[in-house]
Chains A and B, each alone.
Chain A
Amino acid sequence: MADKNPPATEGEAKKEDTPQNLYRMNGSEETPESYDYDLIIIGGGSGGLAAAKEAAKYGKKIMVLDFVTPTPLGNRWGLGGTCVNVGCIPKKLMHQAALLGQALQDSRMYGWQVEEQVKHNWERMTEAVQSYIGSLNWGYRVALRENKVTYENAFGEFVGPHKIKATNIKGKEKFFTAERFLIATGERPRYLGIPGDKEYCISSDDLFSLPYCPGKTLVVGASYVALECAGFLAGIGLDVTVMVRSILLRGFDQDMANKIGDHMEEHGIKFIKQFVPVKIEQIEEGMPGRLRVVAQSTDGQETIEGEYNTVLLAIGRDSCTRKIGLETVGVKINEKTGKIPVNDEEQTSVPYIYAIGDILEGKLELTPVAIQAGRLLARRLYAGSNVKCDYDNVPTTVFTPMEYGACGLSEEKAIEKFGEENIEVYHSYFWPLEWTIPSRDNNKCYAKIVCNVKDNERVVGFHVLGPNAGEVTQGFAAALKCGLTKEQLDSTIGIHPVCAEVFTTLSVTKRSGGSILQAGC
């Protein structure tokens, strides 16, 4: 596409912001014939940045807008989105810190002369984590510059057809037009809507950069965010309680979810089940302070109180789609959930506006999915590709103390889809060799595959509970994509001695009721 206008200097609006111009643009009678940009991306997270870098490869003029609305406690962060700043990255690093605590304990059994009681320094860990995140933020700035992608640290919203307003932290407004737009604004943690929640509670948006140790913590929620955070906080030695309204890890295989919860409980994390907080009060200010939490049972019969240094809310996330002017340009959203429905090419109800990532309706909220969708979209738009994002059999891992890797259908969903008589579930406990010497958690790690009997015993669900679950699961996800069957699993030789090899020797079915307790090599 020919570039009719000379390149604008970075970030400047081409038209004067006269009242007449503003009126005409808001009235949306005419659309500008030549646009400032080929593509404006609202949201500099996993999806947005991936799309930007890919589109730039094809010589397109791209702008990325990224803006972090401060948390109720005033927290902000740099370019990169949730994953980099307040999601996957700091989460995994803190999970690793907790795992290392366990490793220290194990190491004594392996001959290392380590003190029995080892303390953990929250500030040192957080500083190191934040320092690494800072390097990633910087890396993204550099990558955008190198790819000649214009970056604006401003809040983008639609003000008319093909036009957005970008407002920076100081309130300065600029206007930009583009042929196409990509919404990748992601989500933010939800609050309870009870007295004291915004004033006194923190969320995952605050946790990873908290300048003081959270101390005795109440985690509210049953999401993977809740369980992962509760897990590593306990792992670094804190007193942790999880308050859960109903089931754990809704949407995940419930058999696995319950095993995760059981493991956490066995390792000292307290659970308060079927309660919700109704009021949070501050007893004492401080870093951390002391909070009183009043909670009510879900059947309304009982009220309890508890005192904590920190209350971490992890009850879900809300899409950032309500305040970006979507009504102005006619992009339809699900009014209840705020999510944007798209077709299989990530196109919204407005043909020149696309959306990817966590804000999509019916799609998985995962970084690699957003990245894949963003890249493929850019290739379809600018490189003549027709490859669509394959949302099937996307693997994922929950980084709880006992990690859970999964790909494909949960047992429940497989039963729903194929009928109980048509699926066969093979399963086994296993004991990582490394845990034998410290005598830890025998017959707790668990492997399960769900097979479709009617289709050659094709593996439709893969589930593993154990160390390095993500590393184990990744390859099996590739195998599932190649149509893995039980027979192929059985005829494959395992690597010895590793945890993953258990999948090559599964023989006991759930149906048979046979024992799956393990005895050793």
Chain B
Amino acid sequence: MPFVGSNEYDLLVIGGGSGGLACAKEAADHGKKVAIMDYVVPSPRGTSWGLGGTCVNVGCIPKKLMHHAALLGGALEDAHHYGWDVAPSAPHNWQQMATAVQNHVKSLNWGHRVQLQERNVKYFNIQGSFVDDHTVRGFTKAGKETLVTADYIVLATGGRPRYPDDVEGAMEYGITSDDLFWLKESPGKTLVVGASYVSLECAGFLTGFGLDATVMMRSIPLRGFDQQMALLVTDYMESHGTKFLKHCTMKKLEKLENKRLQVTWHNHKAGREETDIFDTVMWAIGRVPETRRLNLEKVGVTLHPDSQKILVDASEATSVAHIYAIGDITEGRPELTPTAIMAGKLLARRLFGRSTELMDYDNVATTVFTPLEYGCVGLSEEEAERRYGQEGIEVYHAYYKPLEFTVAEKDSSQCYIKMVCLRGRDQRILGLHFLGPNAGEVIQGFSLGIKCGATYSQMKRTVGIHPTSAEEVTKLWITKRSGLPATVTGC
């Protein structure tokens, strides 16, 4: 049992990102005395940012804005077909866009400061580490030591991009997503290393700006996602200008006299070393949890041996009774903003309200904002097959063409929907996958249906909204099993 009354705060949150802020604000709304620490260790390149965490500063927000900027480039082409007297393409000014994005992010940093102030949450811009299980110490930039004590402590320090440790020049010459969104100048000809959604999303929008962008992948794209969908995502990117170096691993980066980078890699398929020159190399090979600097060993918070993430139970509790952890640093949780936010809120309600509600991490919908967006909820086809056997599932699918693509003469070869159901009378929906424009908007409502236990027959009884792309989900009728060609015509 925590000492009540002898600690300065009811709650100390370490990490001012999506999860941490949500938890702190909710606890304050319950009348508690709350403190929050947030500190950004500058990237090796020297990039740093304000309050708000990954999502706001170097994740979802700038990503989506740049993705949208790239889509607007496509809209210019479309506009011409729809009667607008514009040239089908126009130059793109990186600085103008980056400044606008960065200004918006700064306004969000400010907004978060204000929200904390309004709730009397004490904000420390310091990097904290444990002294004992109720005491955290940090140093301000000026070097002044601050000690904070609290009854409950929530760890929400998130993650940072990983650098390879076996590539010469990786850290000196390469950047990561931490830097990309804050670049003042265009990255130019860019190599993005990795097959994660971070890699594909970034390479995608860079291509959209007219930049020469290449993705280097060791093996499969979007590991953990439905692989049929992942391949459609990369097919689309390939046919729209993004280059791919498949089955390749990096060897070294060297800086040339003209400031460009000589990149050397091993091509496993061709069985030889290859090289090329780029302006920018960005690592997107995964993220490491920010657990190293907390001094967790001192207090006995246990980590997963491989991932180094914090081990928690269903109530977000660590191995130490009054210390909790949420968000990207926790083992076995999706690395998403909305799950961190909800986990933070529910945790605060359980600690300080009278709630017993635990997080439900099942069927969390997500969207990959590649040039052709991929939204999904529930199980991939592979996972469903693993659990129920191929005979136990029915997969409905369709290739469709968004109406807006017709006049714009756009290629819709990868616009595809797949619904994985349990076979049998009910045909409960196990997973829904949508590849197409506005995938996130489409999937959100359906994820609610799945939460309500939606079945294929309920989907069939739902009348479509016409003309939309989403209605194609309600019109799915061709099964993979039937072997029928799956291209449907809209109207």
- Fill in one digit per residue for B448-491: 1 if any A CB lies within 8 Å of its CB, else 0: 11011110001101111111111101100000000000000101
Within 476-521 of A, Cβ neighbours of B (below 8 Å) are at: 476-479, 481-484, 488-489, 491-501, 503-504, 519-521
Q: Is the CB of A497 within 8 A of B366?
A: no
Cβ-based interface call for A112 (8 A): yes
Sample (26) of A-B pairs whose CB atoms are under 8 Å apart: A96-B82, A103-B75, A107-B76, A110-B68, A110-B69, A110-B100, A111-B95, A111-B97, A112-B72, A112-B91, A112-B92, A118-B85, A128-B407, A129-B407, A236-B83, A394-B463, A395-B464, A433-B61, A468-B441, A475-B446, A482-B454, A484-B448, A488-B451, A492-B451, A494-B365, A521-B111
Query: Are A121 and B468 within 8 A (Cβ)?
Result: no
B245 within 8 A of A: no
A499–B466 Cα distance when bound, in Å, is 20
Stretch at the interface among B31-39, B320-328, B331-339, B378-386: B331-339
What A residues does B462 contact at CB under 8 A?
395, 474, 477-478, 481
Name A92-146 residues within 8 Å CB distance of B. Answer: 92-93, 96-97, 100-101, 103-104, 106-107, 109-115, 118-126, 128-129, 132, 136, 139
Q: Which residue of B lies closest to A101 (CB)?
A: B84
**Chain A residues closer than 8 Å to B339, beta-carbon distance:** 493
* A residues in contact with B4, CB < 8 Å: none
A474 touches B468 (CB 8 A): yes
CB nearest neighbor in B for A127:
B83
Contacts of B115 in A (CB 8 A): 519
- Chain A contacts for B101, CB-based, 8 A: 437
Q: Which of A417-474 contact B (CB under 8 A)?
A: 433-434, 436-437, 468, 470-474
- With contact pairs A493-B338, A495-B367 given, residues A104 and B94 touching in the complex (Cβ less than 8 Å): no
Asked whether any CB of chain B lies closer than 8 Å to the CB of A396, the reply is yes
The reply on B108 being an interface residue by CB < 8 A is: yes
Asked if B449 and A503 sit within 8 Å, CB to CB, the answer is no
Are A104 and B367 closer than 8 Å at their CB atoms? no
Q: Are A472 and B61 in contact (CB under 8 A)?
A: no
Interchain CA distance A83-B469 in the complex, whole Å: 16
B220: Cβ under 8 A from any A Cβ: no
Chain A residues with CB under 8 A of B90: 107, 112-114
Note all chain A residues with C-beta closer than 8 A to B81.
Answer: 128
Is A350 in the interface zone, CB < 8 Å from B? Answer: no
User: Provided the pairs A366-B466, A479-B452, A484-B448 are in contact, do residues A136 and B491 lie with their beta carbons within 8 angstroms?
Assistant: yes
Contact of A479 among B52, B60, B442, B449 (CB under 8 A): B449
- Select which of A121, A128, A482 is within 8 A of B458 by beta carbon: A482
CB atoms of A436 and B104 under 8 A apart: yes
Known: A113-B92, A519-B111. A475 touches B442 (CB 8 A): yes
Scoring B residues 84 to 108 as 1 if CB is less than 8 Å from chain A, else 0, what string do you get?
1110001111111110110010011
Residues of B within 8 A of A436 (CB): 65, 104
B458 to chain A minimum Cβ distance, whole angstroms, is 5
With A129-B407, A471-B469 known to touch, is A112 a contact of B445 (CB < 8 Å)? no
Rounded to whole angstroms, the CA-CA distance of A106 and B489 in the bound complex is 32
Closest A residue to B404 by beta carbon equals A96
CA distance A96 to B82 in the complex (A): 8
Extra contacts besides A136-B491, A494-B444 (18): CB < 8 Å = A92-B403, A92-B467, A93-B407, A104-B75, A104-B76, A111-B92, A114-B76, A121-B83, A121-B85, A124-B83, A128-B81, A434-B64, A472-B442, A475-B447, A492-B448, A495-B447, A499-B441, A521-B55
Q: How far is the CB of A154 from chain B (nearest CB, A)?
A: 23
Interface assignment of B116: CB less than 8 Å from any CB of chain A: no
**B104 and chain A: residue at smallest CB distance:** A436
A369 CB–B CB distance under 8 Å:
yes
Q: Smallest CB-CB separation from B365: which chain A residue?
A: A495
State how many angstroms separate the Cβ of B78 from the closest Cβ of chain A.
6
The interface size of chain B toward A, counting residues with CB under 8 Å, comes to: 86
Do A122 and B61 form a contact, CB below 8 Å, given A492-B448, A496-B336? no
Interface centre among B83, B92, B406 (most CB of A within 10 A): B83
Shortest 5 CB-CB contacts between residues of A and residues of B: A475-B445, A125-B83, A111-B97, A474-B470, A500-B444
**In the complex, A474→B446 CA distance in Å?**
8
Contact with B along A66-96 (1 / 0, CB 8 A): 0000000000000010011000110011001
The verdict on A338 contacting chain B, using a C-beta distance below 8 Å, is no
CB closest chain-A residue, reference B115: A519
Query: Bound state CA distance, A80 and B473, in angstroms?
Result: 23
Closest B residue to A105 by beta carbon equals: B72
Cβ contact within 8 Å between B69 and A470: no
Distance in angstroms from A502 CB to nearest chain B CB is 9
A488 engages B448 (CB within 8 Å): yes
Chain A, residues 223-267, CB within 8 Å of chain B (1/0): the string is 000000000000010000000000000000000000000000000
Tell me which residues across on chain A come within 8 A of B338, comparing CB atoms. 493-496, 501, 504
State in angstroms the CA–CA spacing of A497 and B447 once bound together. Answer: 15
Give B residues with C-beta under 8 Å from A: 52, 55-56, 60-61, 64-65, 68-69, 72-73, 75-76, 78-79, 81-86, 90-98, 100-101, 104, 107-108, 111, 115, 209, 336-339, 342, 357, 360, 364-367, 375, 403-404, 406-407, 438, 440-449, 451-454, 458-459, 461-471, 473-474, 489, 491
Contact, CB under 8 Å: A478 / B458 = yes
A476 near B448 with CB under 8 A, answer yes
Docked pose: A470 CA to B472 CA in angstroms:
12
Give Cα A436–Cα B64 distance, bound, in whole angstroms: 12
A475 x B443 contact (CB < 8 A): yes
If A433-B65, A482-B453, A495-B366 touch, does A472 touch B441 (CB 8 Å cutoff)?
Answer: yes
With a cutoff of 8 Å between Cβ atoms, the chain A residues found around residue B474 in the complex are 474, 478
Interface residues of A in 301-323 (CB under 8 A from B): none
| Contact between chains at B84 and A118 (CB < 8 Å) | yes
Contacting pair B465 A396 (CB below 8 A): yes
A204 within 8 A of partner (CB)? no
Most chain A CB neighbours (cut-off 10 Å) among B97, B108, B448: B448
Which chain B residue lies CB-closest to A106?
A: B72
Task: Considering the complex, give the chain A residue whose CB is closest to the CB of B361.
Answer: A493
Chain A residues near B84: list those with CB within 8 A.
Answer: 97, 100-101, 104, 118-121
A493 to B474, CA, bound (A): 22
Q: Is there contact, CB below 8 Å, between A500 and B441? A: yes
Query: Whose C-beta in chain A lies nearest to the C-beta of B440?
Result: A498
Chain A residues near B453 (CB-CB < 8 A): 482
A397 to B463, CA, bound (A): 12
Closest to B357 in A: A491
**Cβ contacts under 8 Å, B375 to chain A:** 495
Counting CB contacts under 8 A, is A372 at the interface? yes
| Residue of B56, B107, B445 ringed by the most chain A CB atoms within 10 A | B445
Do the beta carbons of A476 and B464 come within 8 Å of each other?
no
| CA–CA, A516 and B151, complex, Å | 34
Given contacts A83-B466, A114-B86, A488-B452, contact A520 B92 (CB under 8 A): no
Is A325 in the interface zone, CB < 8 Å from B?
no
B61 is contacted by which of A106, A476, A484, A521 (Cβ under 8 Å)?
A521
Residues of B within 8 A of A479 (CB): 445-446, 448-449, 451-452, 454
Assuming A468-B441, A493-B365, is B86 touching A115 (CB within 8 A)?
yes
- What separation, in Å, do the CA atoms of A414 and B468 have in the docked complex? 27
Contact of B444 among A97, A109, A495 (CB under 8 A): A495
Please, which residue of chain B has its CB at the minimum distance from the CB of A482? B452
Chain B nearest CB from A214 CB (Å) reads 13
Residue B337 contacts which of A481, A483, A496 (CB distance < 8 angstroms)?
A496
- Chain B residues, Cβ within 8 Å of A120: 83-85
Which B residue's beta carbon lies closest to that of A128?
B407
B100 A501 Cβ-Cβ under 8 A: no
- Cross-interface CB contact of A481 among B56, B79, B447, B458, cutoff 8 Å: B458
A236 to B466: give the CA distance in the assembly, Å.
23
Instruction: Enumerate chain A residues within 8 angstroms of B65, measured Cβ to Cβ.
Output: 110, 433-434, 436-437
The answer to whether A470 and B465 have CB atoms under 8 Å apart is yes
Is the C-beta of A268 less than 8 angstroms from some C-beta in chain B?
A: no
> How many angstroms from the CA of A475 to the CA of B454 in the assembled complex?
11
For B449, list chain A residues within 8 Å (CB).
Answer: 475, 478-479, 481-482, 484
Distance between Cα atoms of A476 and B365 in the complex (Å): 14
